[in-house]
């Protein structure tokens, strides 16, 4: 029959239209809210979604998975005396790996000793050039730079963030990426434990060495030690 | 279960067939043959006719500054098997001249023009050697090693200015005109006449068709694009019309050109990965795949077993969502307005949700690393994928099929409107669904398997009419085949590490060359990478499917009505980001 295909197609549309309302009704009868609740949004972006699937941004938002990445930020720990402990050591790896080269780090030397200060003096990220690739966070050896979830960065000018604008607390980091945070904390703890165990073992060995009579040729033994270490 | 991967290059002995003029390429890390310039046509004819390498897929040049330039050809057989790589070397003095192969393989047309534009290699015998990606008044050839752009900072990254005392400044401020163009000497924009357009219209004026008996009609030249809703980006088609019939057509590209190749040569190997995402922005997963393959070939490293499966899973999901958008937007081009695309976007969104959860981004995934992938697919995401593959996508595909495939309007617009026949498609180096819809069962996943595709049981979707209807239906076939692959991959995926290498921000790549190619949803996507052992690639070339497919646009459109042009173009599923790079 001519026109059957068109009717079939329209049937699909009619089904969607219908489903939107039956779904609404079903949620209503179950006493749940389909709109403006997290549950509702979650359902609308799941495989069981039927009918309308749009999200009423900005009143409603899609639920971001933990790994979602927008712009990087620097992590600091809040210390007991209110000071901030910046984790970054200005090692420069993120600036070297950044594909569009939008990270600029100023590292400075201690005026008295002339040795480099680990903490960066300045840290710029040109957020308009950042391609949100996540390399800086991925390759930072100190977990000092992380990818943010905040994507609302519209502005009238250029977004060149300096260190003040980039710093966010580790509490915030924990709130957006609980699993990553837990994993890193566990790794850090394990490392510290290992360090402590090593130190304890070393102290014990030293104590034992002291207690025991001095070895016949101490210089030779220490030379061997340095060789192993180097 | 594992079959050994086929050799990456063919074992044909060209040297014995052409003693004296052909040599094996003996540089360490290289393969293929070096052909004398004067015998290129003769050797190439034999390669095509005697040895049967009918599909010339990639042509590009390499600037081995300061002494020579090289043109590299990758030829394949449509029956499958590894490539035959041959090269011509010419001294790097102006003009650099190489005979054009356009009469043997018309598909090299745009690629030769690109090599001319970006590298300044003159292809003698090419009938229409104009710039293609840069504008006509552009100074120099940007891929030459001695060319420097307006914001030039340093030859290669990482730039030293960033650390350890990286005071921020804007690149624009270094240039008094705040633009990154360099102009030819004595250039006066007021007096400049765009010769390119004159040449372009001149090229179109070549076409003459006999007018209908008794009725004399004026031909009219019209520009469709670059900003036309149907061109899927900034693409311009200049057409000569005789009444409603297209009698001549030239594609004009370059409006979105970002010089991806040049950026790639200045980046380090790893830094290129997120840039590949931006080529075909619907398919960052397959783009990553091709590049990872090329560099892994160079580095000679294995890929972790679990990562191999993850790669297949994500690239097949990517194919599904790409074909879904294709169907939606094609219907849009046919005048179905917004409804079908909304329906297809629903499924796509669900797939992107998975991508976002595993990689961090919906479209710019940056998910592959050399030797594996960056992050594992956790249990929760795996369950989501299973839900999609087993419960959600199959019925939705059927529904889409039900809604569209018998629709009378659709059928009357598409059935019998010829796209391209098999012979022309091969000659014009068309790849992907368009080639398969013309009746050539050529799919790289089968013809020259990469990754672990040889372990899966699936059919190469093929249809034989080569009309629009078949081009559309083949996408639905491919979605179903992808679901088959996904089903097997999900069942077989082992536990284990997801990368065979330690994460490192600077990889060591030994000197040599490699060509990695994948069957992207649009056709063959290839990366030709040359390393000289340094941290940055010496040559990085992308062979995009859209760009090469559009070579055949003229062949396809001449003789059809202008009203069909929009759909004919849509069938290539072009993404200008990939086409212009
Ligand atoms: S890689 Fe990490 S520690 Fe090193 S400079 Fe960057 S943010 Fe700081
Ligand atoms: S996310 Fe990528 S582009 Fe952005 S600052 Fe980090 S490394 Fe650079």
Q: What pLDDT, on a 0 to 100 scale, did the predictor assign at position B4?
A: 43
Task: Round the average pLDDT of chain A to a whole number and report it.
Answer: 83
Q: Which of A136, A151, A159, A162 to mutate to test the pocket of ligand 2 (most atoms within 8 A of CB)?
A: A136
Contact A4 B406 (CB under 8 A): yes
Mean pLDDT on B37-41: 85
First CA to last CA across chain B, in angstroms?
A: 39
Q: What pLDDT, on a 0 to 100 scale, did the predictor assign at position A91?
A: 87
User: Strand A103-106 to strand B84-91: parallel, antiparallel, or no bridges (unpaired)?
Assistant: unpaired
Q: What pLDDT, on a 0 to 100 scale, did the predictor assign at position A1?
A: 58
Q: What pLDDT, on a 0 to 100 scale, did the predictor assign at position B528?
A: 92
Q: What pLDDT, on a 0 to 100 scale, did the predictor assign at position B316?
A: 92
- Residues of chain A above pLDDT 70, percent: 91
Q: What pLDDT, on a 0 to 100 scale, did the predictor assign at position B209?
A: 52
User: Strand A122-126 to strand A145-147: parallel, antiparallel, or no bridges (unpaired)?
Assistant: unpaired
Of the listed ligands, the closest to the CA of A135 is 2
**pLDDT tier at A178 (50, 70, 90 boundaries)?**
confident
Contact A105 B166 (CB under 8 A): yes
Q: Is the CB of A144 under 6 A from ligand 1?
A: yes
Mean pLDDT on B319-330: 90
The pLDDT tens digits for B437-447 are 888 889 888 88
Contact list in B for residue A135 (CB cut-off 8 A) is 270-271, 274, 366, 505
**pLDDT tier at B479 (50, 70, 90 boundaries)?**
very high
Of A131-145, A202-216, B439-453, B469-483, the one with minimum mean pLDDT is A202-216
Of A167-171, B205-209, B440-444, the one with minimum mean pLDDT is B205-209
Q: How far apart are CA B502 and CA B511, in angstroms?
A: 21
Best mutation target among B159, B165, B166, B394 (most A Cβ atoms within 10 Å) is: B166
The residue whose CA is least distant from atom 5 of ligand 2 is: A130
Contact A97 B158 (CB under 8 A): yes
Best mutation target among B262, B272, B275, B403 (most A Cβ atoms within 10 Å) is: B403
The pLDDT tens digits for B227-270 are 887 777 888 888 888 778 888 888 888 888 888 998 899 899 99
Mean pLDDT on B439-467: 88
The first and second tokens of residue A20, run together, are: 């939107």
pLDDT, greater one: B216 or B378: B378
Q: How far apart are CA B386 and CA B388, in angstroms?
A: 5
Q: What pLDDT, on a 0 to 100 scale, did the predictor assign at position A225?
A: 43
Task: Round the average pLDDT of chain B to a whole number and report it.
Answer: 85
The first and second tokens of residue B268, run together, are: 């380090």
**Listed residue (B111, B76, B196, B131) closest to B546, CA to CA:** B111
The pLDDT tens digits for A156-166 are 888 888 888 88
Q: Is the CB of A94 under 6 A from ligand 1?
A: yes
**CB hemisphere CA count around A146 (13 angstroms):** 28
Q: Is the pLDDT of residue A226 over 60?
A: no
CA distances from B555 to A48, B107, B112, B242, B418 (A): 46, 11, 18, 16, 11
Q: What pLDDT, on a 0 to 100 scale, did the predictor assign at position B217?
A: 63
Q: What pLDDT, on a 0 to 100 scale, did the predictor assign at position A108?
A: 82
Mean pLDDT on B424-433: 89
Q: What pLDDT, on a 0 to 100 scale, did the predictor assign at position B64?
A: 87
Convert B184-204 to b/e letters by CB count within 10 Å (16 or more is b): eeeeeeeeeeeebeeebeeeb
> Could you say which of A65, A107, A138 has the minimum Cβ distance to residue B165?
A107
The pLDDT tens digits for B272-302 are 999 999 888 888 899 999 999 999 989 888 8
Question: Which amino acids bring their CB within 6 angstroms of ligand 2?
Answer: A 72, 98-100, 102-103, 125, 130-136
Of A149-163, B208-222, B545-559, B565-579, the one with minimum mean pLDDT is B208-222
Q: What pLDDT, on a 0 to 100 scale, did the predictor assign at position B280?
A: 87
- CA nearest B398 in A: which residue? A12
The pLDDT tens digits for B492-548 are 989 888 888 888 888 888 888 999 899 999 889 999 999 988 889 999 999 998 899
Q: Reduced to 3 states, what is the DSSP secondary structure of residue B520?
A: strand
pLDDT, greater one: A181 or B206: A181
Could you give phi then psi for residue B220, rounded to 5 degrees?
A: -130, 135
Helix axes B339-359, B305-331, angle to 10 degrees: 160
Supply the ipTM of this predicted assembly: 0.81
The pLDDT tens digits for B480-493 are 999 999 999 999 98
- CA nearest A43 in B: which residue? B350
Q: How far apart are CA B264 and CA B472, in angstroms?
A: 34
**Global pTM?**
0.86
Q: What pLDDT, on a 0 to 100 scale, did the predictor assign at position A119?
A: 83
Handedness of CA B493, B494, B495, B500 (dihedral sign): negative
Q: Reduced to 3 states, what is the DSSP secondary structure of residue B101?
A: coil
H, E, C per residue of B37-95: HHHHHHHHHHHHHCCCCCEEEEEEEEEECCCEEEEEEEEECCCCCCEEEEEEEEECCCC
Q: What pLDDT, on a 0 to 100 scale, did the predictor assign at position B314?
A: 92
């Amino acid at each position: 029959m001519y026109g059957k295909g068109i009717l079939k197609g329209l049937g699909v549309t009619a089904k969607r239209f219908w489903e939107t309302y039956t779904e609404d009704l079903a949620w209503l009868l179950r006493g749940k809210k389909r709109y403006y609740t997290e549950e509702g949004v979650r359902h609308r972006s799941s495989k069981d979604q039927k009918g309308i699937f749009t999200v009423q941004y900005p009143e409603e938002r899609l639920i971001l998975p933990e790994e979602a990445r927008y712009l990087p930020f620097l992590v600091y720990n809040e210390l007991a005396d209110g000071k901030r402990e910046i984790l970054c050591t200005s090692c420069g790896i993120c600036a070297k790996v950044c594909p569009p080269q939008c990270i600029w780090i100023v590292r400075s030397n201690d005026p008295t000793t002339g040795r480099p200060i680990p903490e960066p003096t300045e840290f710029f990220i040109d957020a308009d050039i950042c391609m949100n690739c996540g390399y800086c966070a991925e390759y930072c050896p100190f977990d000092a730079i992380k990818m943010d979830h905040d994507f609302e960065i519209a502005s009238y000018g250029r977004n060149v963030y300096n260190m003040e604008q980039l710093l966010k607390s580790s509490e915030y980091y924990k709130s957006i990426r609980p699993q990553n945070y837990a994993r890193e904390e566990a790794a850090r703890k394990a490392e510290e434990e290992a360090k402590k165990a090593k130190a304890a073992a070393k102290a014990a060995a030293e104590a034992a060495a002291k207690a025991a009579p001095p070895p016949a040729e101490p210089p030779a033994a220490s030379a061997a030690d340095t060789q192993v270490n180097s | 279960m594992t079959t050994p991967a086929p050799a990456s290059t063919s074992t044909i002995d060209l040297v014995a067939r052409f003693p004296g003029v052909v040599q094996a390429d003996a540089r360490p890390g290289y393969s293929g043959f070096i052909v004398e310039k004067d015998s290129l046509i003769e050797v190439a004819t034999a390669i095509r006719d005697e040895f049967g390498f009918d599909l010339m897929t990639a042509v590009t040049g390499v600037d081995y500054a300061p002494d020579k330039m090289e043109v590299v050809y990758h030829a394949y057989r449509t029956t499958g098997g590894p490539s035959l790589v041959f090269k011509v070397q010419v001294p790097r003095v102006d003009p650099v001249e190489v005979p054009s192969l356009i009469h043997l393989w018309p598909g090299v047309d745009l690629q030769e023009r690109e090599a001319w534009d970006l590298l300044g290699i003159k292809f003698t015998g090419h009938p229409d050697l104009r710039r293609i990606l840069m504008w006509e008044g552009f100074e120099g050839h940007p891929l030459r090693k001695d060319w420097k752009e307006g914001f030039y900072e340093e030859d290669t990254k990482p730039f030293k200015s960033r650390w350890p005392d990286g005071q921020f400044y804007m690149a624009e401020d270094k240039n008094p005109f705040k633009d990154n163009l360099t102009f030819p000497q004595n250039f006066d924009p007021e007096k400049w006449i765009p010769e390119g357009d004159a040449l372009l219209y001149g090229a179109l004026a070549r076409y003459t068709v006999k007018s209908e008996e008794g009725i004399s009609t004026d031909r009219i030249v019209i520009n469709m694009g670059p900003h036309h809703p149907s061109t899927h980006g900034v693409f311009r088609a200049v057409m000569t019309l005789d009444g409603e019939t297209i009698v001549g057509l030239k594609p004009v590209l370059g409006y979105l050109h970002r010089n991806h190749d040049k950026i790639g040569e200045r980046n380090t190997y790893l830094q290129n990965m997120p840039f590949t995402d931006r080529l075909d922005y619907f398919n960052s997963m397959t783009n990553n795949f091709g590049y990872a393959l090329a560099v892994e070939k160079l580095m000679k490293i294995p890929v972790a077993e679990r990562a191999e499966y993850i790669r297949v899973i994500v690239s097949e999901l990517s194919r599904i969502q790409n074909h879904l958008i294709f169907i939606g937007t094609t219907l849009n081009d046919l005048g179905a307005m917004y409804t079908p695309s909304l329906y297809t976007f629903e499924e796509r969104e669900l797939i992107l949700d998975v991508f976002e959860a595993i990689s961090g981004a919906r479209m710019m995934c940056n998910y592959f690393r050399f030797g594996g992938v960056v992050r594992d697919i956790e249990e929760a995401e795996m369950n989501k994928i299973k839900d999609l593959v087993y419960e959600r996508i199959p019925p939705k595909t059927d529904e889409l099929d039900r809604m569209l495939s018998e629709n009378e309007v659709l059928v009357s617009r598409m059935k019998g409107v010829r796209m391209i026949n098999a012979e022309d498609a091969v000659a014009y180096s068309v790849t992907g669904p368009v080639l398969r819809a013309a009746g050539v069962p050529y799919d790289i996943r089968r013809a020259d398997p990469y990754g672990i595709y040889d372990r899966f049981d699936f059919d190469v979707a093929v249809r034989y009419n080569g009309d629009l209807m078949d081009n559309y239906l083949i996408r639905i076939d491919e979605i179903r085949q992808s679901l088959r692959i996904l089903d097997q991959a999900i069942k077989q995926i082992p536990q284990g590490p997801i990368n065979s290498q330690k994460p490192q921000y600077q990889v060591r790549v030994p000197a040599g060359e490699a060509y990695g190619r994948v069957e992207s949803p649009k056709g063959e996507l290839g990366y030709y990478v040359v390393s000289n052992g340094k941290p940055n690639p010496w040559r990085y070339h992308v062979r995009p499917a859209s760009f090469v497919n559009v070579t055949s646009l003229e062949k396809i459109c001449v003789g059809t009505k202008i009203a069909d042009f929009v759909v004919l173009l849509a069938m290539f599923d072009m993404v200008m980001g990939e086409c212009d790079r």
